[in-house]
Structure 1
Amino acid sequence: MFEADDIRDWRGEPVVDEDGSKIGNLEGVYYDTATQQASFATVKVGFPGGGRLIFVPLDGARVSPKHVRVLTDKKTAKDAPAIDTDGELDAALEPEIFSHYGIAYQPGASGERRLGRR
């Protein structure tokens, strides 16, 4: 396992928890607008043709040729805030995502968003 130069290269690959249980597949990456570091990933969960995108933190995540391992457990991830597979992250949902994982949320100095997708 190693850190990724660009976590976006693993789109479509399985995301597993610290015990190796599959959570879903990596769909997108959200960057912290203040630091430009990959902060959260959206993971597609649910049935084919439907499902939803849940948010999981990328702090401490590692990659291998076959998956991305995150430092959260599957149950916590599955209970995380979500958006529709064709939806967009609403600014009002950002604090809830951070809170779900016990991470302090601080908007930008002028109230700007913390997460931006690339």
Structure 2
Amino acid sequence: MFEAGDIREWRGHDVVDADARKIGKLESIYVDTATDAPSFATVTVGMPTRHRLVFVPLAGALVGPGYLKVTYPKNQVKGAPSIDVDGVLPAEDEEAIFAHYDLSYRPGAEGERRLARR
């Protein structure tokens, strides 16, 4: 895996799937609040006049020259829960993001959110 500080330097670079198909541009990183490790990225997708940010897990992701390669297929990522480019992720929407990728979701011990933007 890579350090959160390192991956932030890749903002604006291409995000591609395992078959090197471009999904969009890296917008931001969300860390797991329990570990502070990079957990999800948001990717800018959509038409030039209607962009949105979709979430993709970073588990197994690789950084290459000018791109971030994720392990999920392009169609699955583009169909993921999204927010507006200037929006924020509501805490109650976190579980749907995990469910989209068949990942288990548990909020913090006190019910706090699981993802934080860095």
**Contact 1:27 1:44 survives alignment (8 Å):** yes
1:19 and 2:19 aligned: yes
**Larger relative strand fraction:** 2
The TM-score normalised by the length of structure 2 is: 0.95
Aligned length: 116
Structure 1 residue 46 and structure 2 residue 61: aligned? Answer: no
Structure 1 residue 7, shift from structure 2 partner: 1.1
TM-score of the pair, normalised by structure 1? 0.95
Q: SS of the residue aligned with 2:97? A: helix
Structure 1 residue 66: deviation in Å?
A: 1.6
1:56 Cα offset (Å): 0.3
Q: What secondary structure, in the 3-state scheme, does the structure 1 residue paired with 2:108 have?
A: coil
Change (3 A) 1:49 1:4: farther
1:1-118 equivalent positions in 2, closer than 5 A: 3-5=1-3, 6-118=6-118
Gap runs ≥5 in structure 1:
none
Q: Percent of aligned positions with the same letter in both sequences?
A: 56
Give the match's secondary structure for 2:30: strand
Unaligned segments of structure 2, at least 5 residues: none
Once residues 50 and 99 of structure 2 are traced to their aligned partners in structure 1, the CA distance between those partners, rounded to angstroms, is 26
Quote the offset at 1:93 in angstroms. 0.7
